[in-house]
Amino acid sequence: MPGKIHKRHRPKKKKATPQKRAAQPADGAATQCINSRNLNAYWEPVTRRCLDRTTGREAAG
């Protein structure tokens, strides 16, 4: 059978590697931020972070 390459000698097909996504906050993060005791905390939908209005830094839950 000339012309046929045995399965063992064929180059292996590369599997598509899934792209890694940036770490996302938990689904309830927005709700926790909105219901936070910190009155200056607000949810920033673009960056998906809970921020402090006075400092602009991430508010601690």
Tokens of 43: 């949810």
The domain locations on the chain are 25-61
DSSP-derived secondary structure for 29-55: HHHHHHT-S-TTEEEETTTTEEEETTT
Mind listing the pLDDT tens digit for each residue in 5-31?
677 776 777 777 666 655 555 668 999
pTM of the model: 0.53
pLDDT greater than 90 at residue 52 = yes
What's the CA angle centered on 51, arms 46 and 56, to 5 degrees?
105
The closest alpha carbon to 29, from 39, 20, 42, 19, belongs to 42
Tokens of 13: 């097909």
